Each structure stands twice: as C-alpha cells, then as structure tokens.
Amino acid sequence: MGKDRLPSRRSFLRTAFGTAFAGSTLAMPFPEASPDRSGPQTSEATVVARVTLDHELYDYGKVVNGSISFRLPPTGDTEIEWVDSFGRVALRSAIAPPSSIDRARLFSFRLVSGMTYRNWIRLKVNGIPQVEGAKFLLAPPQ
C-alpha cells in the first residue's frame, strides 16, 4: 500500500529545501568579495556617495531633476546613463568634475526616449562604473 502512494509531505519538503539550498550555494558567484579585488578598484567604484532624484514616478515627457554627491573628488568627467529595464541606454550625458565635493552636482533631462516602466540612473567616473545609482518609474505615453 505504501509503494503506490505519493511521497510524504516530509520527504517533499526535505527535497525542496535541500534543492533550494544546494542550488543557491552552488550558483552564487563571489568575484566581488574576493580579497584580491579589494584594492584600488574598490575606491574607484565608490567615488559617488549618493544619487538623488526629485521623484520616484515620472510621467512620459517630464523632466528628471537629480543631484550627485561625491565621496571623493573625481579626477575626470562623470558620465550619466539612463538605462531601461532591458539594459538599453536611453540617454547618455557627461558633466564636468565639481570644483568642490561639498556641493552636489545637478543634472536634468527630459524623459522622451524611454519605453519601459522601470529605469535606472547609472554613473561612470573616468569610465569606471559606480556602485551608487538611482531608480525610477516611468508612466507609459498616453
């Protein structure tokens, strides 16, 4: 009678949790956490301290106003990218380095080339992607 029955709930849960645990631990890449990469690349990727936007939800065609605060003085231009949820760069702009890190650099652009709902602001300083960024939602055109 026990052979033709479905597996018990206990064995099902044991298998499900074991698979989830093994899959998550075996599939997790840790290149960022390796000690050999914690040198100068870490500080170069954290030049930007904070990116703030004036809203989280925007209508199509409106203007995004934001500010970039720096933790360290950048030695070159800061590239701002508006990236949509498919990874496409909808807009790219560059700003000159600030004269002082005490004052945030302001930026703005019009939201006319985006086609997805979820979007991100990503930054590069001297071509190095920064850890800090921002995200916003874009309402579809009417």
Other Cβ atoms less than 10 A from the Cβ of 84: the count is: 18
Say what the pLDDT of residue 13 is. Answer: 66
Burial of 82 (0-12, 13-18, 19+ CB in 10 A): buried
Is residue 100 very low, low, confident or very high in pLDDT (cuts 50, 70, 90)?
confident
Say what the pLDDT of residue 3 is. Answer: 57
Mean pLDDT to the nearest integer, 17-44: 51
Percent of the chain predicted with pLDDT > 90 = 55
Residue 54 or residue 25, greater confidence: 54
Say what the pLDDT of residue 29 is. Answer: 45
Closest C-alpha to 51, from 127, 110, 101, 123: 123
Mean pLDDT to the nearest integer, 112-121: 89
Mean pLDDT to the nearest integer, 116-125: 94
Q: How far apart are CA 115 and CA 136, in angstroms?
A: 13
The domain locations on the chain are: 40-138
Q: Which CATH number fits domain 40-138: 3.30.450.40, 2.60.40.1930, 1.10.274.10, 2.40.440.10?
A: 2.60.40.1930
Other Cβ atoms less than 10 A from the Cβ of 90: the count is: 18
Say if residues 71 and 101 touch (Cβ distance below 8 Å). yes
pLDDT digits over 41-72, tens only?
567 889 999 999 999 999 999 999 999 999 99
Residue 20 has pLDDT above 60, yes or no: no
Say what the pLDDT of residue 21 is. Answer: 54
Residue 33 has pLDDT above 50, yes or no: no
